[in-house]
Structure 1
Amino acid sequence: MSKKVCKGFAMEELLKSYFIQAGYYVARGVPFVYEGFDVTDIDLWLYSRASSATRNVTIVDVKNKKTPQAIERIFWAKGLAQAVKADNVIIATTDQRKEVKDFGKDLNVLVLDGVFLSKLSRTESELTRLSDEEFISLIDMYNLGKIDGDWKGQVLKSKSLLARGLTFDTCNKWLEVSRFFAEQILTKPSQLEVALRCFYYTLSLLAIGVDYLLRELSFVDNVERTEKLAEGFTYGSKGKSGLNKMLGLSLSLVEQFAEEGPSIARQVKSKISDEFESLPTQIIAEYFSKGEVARTLFNTAKELELYAMSKEFRPHTESSLETRALIGCLLDFWSIDRKAFSSSIVVV
């Protein structure tokens, strides 16, 4: 299922393969959306884990053209990095002028010039992985995907969340989308491989997001770490106090203008609070708070992404113990029967 890509995209795939081999988690073509407007795509989004308390997000701007305008791209990429809160910027350009590298160094931008790009070659990793175009093409082969929950749209939107920053809000969205694809695995046997690929990919994003959140919790004890994770997975980035503040502002209008306003407001607040507190987030909070899980989550994310993008598809039954444990924990969180889920993928 070879899908030809244009020259610029081919270079992006080469660089993606290079950075994966270097140990990064890599996402290609990350949409950057601002206030509903599609601004641009981040050519490559890189994530690395240096230690229990250190993470790094790098964006790569790739220009494989005869007139790459490298100096201008340095300005552009620096601004984009600030907008998406990236730590570092890399420019990959066919330009070989020394002045370009010097200018990049002055602005703390690493320039991979034409000399470097000319030495890139197709690696074994690239030959065994689907390109992003091939991955999306597989999803498009499901003719009902658009009306059946918009499979492609859900994957692309999940990827675009990387540009918003790694927060509890984005992690909760990835939890939601991953659950959607877990349910498709159970109910769409004819689309099993594609559903599994999408499931693995969105789960890899979730694993990266949680790994990033854990950097700030690496020096607190297990009880406090579990509490903070449970609160974040339950109430989002603003926490319980933020939710109560938002509810207070909204319900104050009900109290003022609705008949029997105070009584209605109390009932609404109580019902909403009960709904949130009934969420079984303690399950995943306790799982992610474990030291051995925190230490391996980055590698689990990379493994899940590999399972999603491998040309020769394999189900996660052959994956590491850590990956299978993560999936099992999330199935419990979603109240999806583990045996039923395992039985549904035996036919792959």
Structure 2
Amino acid sequence: MGKILSKGFEMEEQLRNYFMQSGYFVVRGVPFAYKGFDVTDIDLWLYSRESSLTRNITIVDVKNKKTPQAIERIFWAKGLAQAVNAQNVIVATTERRKEVKEFGQDLDVLVLDGVFLSKLSKSEGFLKNRFSDEEFFDSIEKYSLSKLDGDWKGQMVKCKSLLTKGISFDSCNQWLEVSRYFAEQILTKPSQVDVALRCFYYSLSLFSIGVDFILKELSFLDYDERISKLIEGFTYGAKGLNGVTKMLSLSLSLVEQFAAEGKAISSQVRSKIMADFESLPTGIIGEYFAKSDVGKILFPVAKELEGLAMNRQFRNHLESSLELRGMLGCLLDCWEINRKEFSIVVSTS
């Protein structure tokens, strides 16, 4: 067992364990900001995949205090869910009055009351094999240069915060970029391979959830159409080719109007930018994730990756499922990282 947690954080970890055992993918402590202002943290963010056509996002507000102000928390959590595009809301409170549960029902909010939490608090060993979030971040900060060397902890926090902005190709591409960064750190920081791998696995777990969410909207398309949509999204982001082209035209119109030889410069810039987009090796991952059998395994692979990141006794992915290793191989190919070289470095961890 690691560091001692406050009562509130301990309850969040107990609830995280409960929801994980119930089959959810769970993220704890998700920062929510609005126009640059830090608003709050979502205590628990839950993701479930009930079928090829159904995904559900649930937020959980946890209050383990003597005066939990449960009615106010129901209002707060309901509004927060709308702001972060969550379909379901749960409030976990030490409050035991039946009126609180009834009020929650009226607002379509599930209330886990003090009776439930008291039973949950009797469970032991929920952090026997896993890090708490605090321990995960402590493991990163043991690398004394992690703040200067790309802010490893900050990148993990940012990865979490993307969940509140609505999952899209934009968030998936950012998770993919963070994963690539840590893949490179694994190769170049031999003394920090374990912690770089933890960060690598964690960002990839969120990426896997993101792609799983996007595939719901593409499930009715045939294979070739899915490939096309995925390649476009991984290349140009949520706006797609048309959106990027319009944005580029709008930006370059100012150059054409006010710069000397504006049209010539605009044409050169446009050609260069579009050539850069088209040179991205996104065809590899587009074709891979378009496969229907790959779509089916993304949710369990995401949970497996998260487990690797948070495992108390560190272990790498070389003995993980064939599906997980297949996905990593595809991404390494996309990043032009030699699979064999990567495996050799990982095997020393």
| Alignment TM-score, normalising by the size of structure 1 | 0.99
Q: Secondary structure at the match of 1:43?
A: strand
Q: Secondary structure at the match of 1:56?
A: strand
Name the residue aligned to 2:153: 152
Question: Residues of 2 paired with 1:157 and 1:59: CA distance?
Answer: 18
Name the residue aligned to 1:342: 343
- Structure 1 segments, 4+ long, off by >4 Å, are none
Q: Secondary structure at the match of 2:44?
A: strand
Shift of 1:35: 1.1
2:177 partner amino acid: E
Q: Secondary structure at the match of 1:3?
A: coil
Shift of 1:164: 0.8
Given that residues 140 and 152 in structure 1 are in contact (C-alpha distance below 8 angstroms), is that contact kept between their aligned partners in structure 2?
A: yes
Shift of 1:123: 5.1
Shift of 1:279: 0.4
Given that residues 91 and 112 in structure 1 are in contact (C-alpha distance below 8 angstroms), is that contact kept between their aligned partners in structure 2?
A: yes
Name the residue aligned to 1:219: 220
Name the residue aligned to 1:231: 232
Q: Secondary structure at the match of 2:347?
A: coil
Question: Residues of 2 paired with 1:329 and 1:122: CA distance?
Answer: 40
Question: Residues of 2 paired with 1:123 and 1:68: CA distance?
Answer: 24
Q: Is residue 251 of structure 2 the alignment partner of residue 250 of structure 1?
A: yes
Name the residue aligned to 1:173: 174
Given that residues 21 and 125 in structure 1 are in contact (C-alpha distance below 8 angstroms), is that contact kept between their aligned partners in structure 2?
A: no
Shift of 1:116: 0.3
Q: Is residue 178 of structure 2 the alignment partner of residue 207 of structure 1?
A: no
Name the residue aligned to 2:94: 94
Shift of 1:152: 0.4
Q: Secondary structure at the match of 1:90?
A: strand
Given that residues 17 and 123 in structure 1 are in contact (C-alpha distance below 8 angstroms), is that contact kept between their aligned partners in structure 2?
A: no
1:236 partner amino acid: G
Q: How much is the aligned-residue C-alpha RMSD, in angstroms? A: 0.8
Given that residues 316 and 324 in structure 1 are in contact (C-alpha distance below 8 angstroms), is that contact kept between their aligned partners in structure 2?
A: yes
What per-residue deviation string (whole Å, max 9, x for no partner) do you get for residues 313-337 of structure 1? 1100010001001111000111111
The 3 A distance-change label for structure 1 pair 146 and 220 is same
Say how many residue pairs are matched. Answer: 348
Question: Residues of 2 paired with 1:322 and 1:162: CA distance?
Answer: 24
| Gap regions ≥5 residues in structure 1 | none
Question: Residues of 2 paired with 1:39 and 1:108: CA distance?
Answer: 23
Question: Residues of 2 paired with 1:303 and 1:169: CA distance?
Answer: 23
Listed as ranges, the matches of 1:119-130 within 5 Å are 119-120=119-120, 121-122=122-123, 124-130=125-131
Name the residue aligned to 1:7: 7
Question: Residues of 2 paired with 1:221 and 1:123: CA distance?
Answer: 48
1:272 partner amino acid: I
Question: Residues of 2 paired with 1:109 and 1:58: CA distance?
Answer: 10
Question: Residues of 2 paired with 1:2 and 1:127: CA distance?
Answer: 9
What per-residue deviation string (whole Å, max 9, x for no partner) do you get for residues 79-118 of structure 1? 1000000000000000000000000000000000000001
Name the residue aligned to 1:299: 300
Shift of 1:124: 4.9
Question: Residues of 2 paired with 1:160 and 1:266: CA distance?
Answer: 37
Question: Residues of 1 paired with 2:52 and 2:73: CA distance?
Answer: 33
Given that residues 14 and 126 in structure 2 are in contact (C-alpha distance below 8 angstroms), is that contact kept between their aligned partners in structure 1?
A: no
- State, as a whole percentage, how many aligned pairs show the same letter: 68
Shift of 1:122: 3.1
Shift of 1:276: 0.2
Given that residues 208 and 297 in structure 1 are in contact (C-alpha distance below 8 angstroms), is that contact kept between their aligned partners in structure 2?
A: yes
| Gap regions ≥5 residues in structure 2 | none
Q: Is residue 188 of structure 2 the alignment partner of residue 187 of structure 1?
A: yes
What per-residue deviation string (whole Å, max 9, x for no partner) do you get for residues 58-83 of structure 1? 00000000000000000000110000
Shift of 1:235: 0.2
